[in-house]
Structure 1
C-alpha cells in the first residue's frame, strides 16, 4: 500500500471495530449501570463500546468507519484521544445531570461528539471550513429533529429507545474538546 496513513487508518478502524465486537459478546459486564458505576469504574468508558444488539452495533460501527475518511487530515492519535475522553465525559454527565438514566449502551453519543470536535477544529482551515460547517449544520438539524419529532424509526431498527440525551451530551463534549484543543494549539503557537 502506497499511503502509510491510509494503512494506519484501516488498522485503527479494524482494531476499534473488533474490540467493540469482543465487548459486545459480554455486553452486560460493560454497559452503563448507574447503581454500580463507580464500583465498576470501567463502565464509565466501556458503556459506549457495547450496544443493545448487533444491529445497533453495525449502525454505530458504520458511522465510526466513515469518520477518519470524512476528515482525512486528522491523525489517529486525535481520534484515539476523543475515544478515551468522550465516553467518560458522557457517563459522568449521565450520572450527575440525568440521574433517571439507569442503564445505557451505545457509541452514538461519542460519535456525535467526535464529529463535532473534528468539524469544529476544521473550521479554522479555510479549505475545510465549508465542509465542516455542513457537518455541524447536519448534526444540529439531527439534534433538533430528535428532540422535537423523535427517533421512532431508529428505535424500531435497533429494538430499543434512542437516548437522545447521549447525543446532546456528546455534542457538548465535542464542542468543549474542540475549544480546548484550539486554545492549546494557539498557546503553543504563541510560545
Structure 2
C-alpha cells in the first residue's frame, strides 16, 4: 500500500510538471493579463502554471516536487484542491487589490500557499508539529526578507522581477484554506 501511494505521488508530480511544461511552450496564451482576465477566464488558473522562463519553471517544479514528500500525510486530492483553489484566489486578489499588476506568471504564490496550508494542518499532529512550525517560520522569514531586503538574486536568476505580492497572497490563501479544512474536519467528522 505504501509503495502504491508513493507511485501515485510520483505520477501526480510528473503529470503536473508535464502539464506545466506544455503550457510553457505557449506561455503568452496562459499568463495573467489583467486587461482580458474575464474574457479569457482560464488565465485565473493557468497564469500560475506557466513561468517567465525555463529556469523559473525548474525552480518552481523542484519546490512543488518536494512538498508531497516532506509532508507524507497529504493525499493527492489535497494537492489537486490546492492547485484548483489557490490560483484563482491569487489572480482575483491581483485584479481587485493590486490593479497595478498587469501581467504575472509563476507557481511561487501557489507554492507558498500550499506549503502554508499543509504546514498549518500538520500543526495538529503531535509528531509533525515541530517540523510544521519550522516550515511556517521559514516561510514567514522569507516573506519578511523579501518585503524588506528584496529578492534581487532570485530576480537575476529567473530573469524577471519577483512579485512578492503573489507570495503574500498565497500565504493568506493558504491560511484561509487550512482554517476551512480544520473547521470542516472538526464540525463534520
What range is the shorter-chain TM-score in?
over 0.9
TM-fit CA distance, 1:188: 1.4
Which whole-Å deviations, capped at 9, do the CAs of 1:73-113 have from their partners, x for residues lacking one? 10000011000000010000000000000000000000000
Partner residue, 2:54: 54
Cα separation, 2, equivalents of 1:126 and 1:67: 19
Aligned counterparts, 1:60-79, within 5 A: 60-79=60-79
Query: What is the number of equivalent residue pairs in this alignment?
Result: 189
Runs of 5+ in structure 2 lacking a partner?
none
Aligned counterparts, 1:155-170, within 5 A: 155-170=155-170
Aligned counterparts, 1:1-191, within 5 A: 3-189=3-189
Cα separation, 2, equivalents of 1:105 and 1:14: 20
TM-score (norm. length: structure 2): 0.99
RMSD: 0.9
Cα separation, 2, equivalents of 1:120 and 1:150: 26
Runs of 5+ in structure 1 lacking a partner?
none
TM-score (norm. length: structure 1): 0.98
TM-fit CA distance, 1:2: 6.4
Which whole-Å deviations, capped at 9, do the CAs of 1:40-92 have from their partners, x for residues lacking one? 00000000000000000000000000000010110000011000000010000
Cα separation, 2, equivalents of 1:45 and 1:75: 21
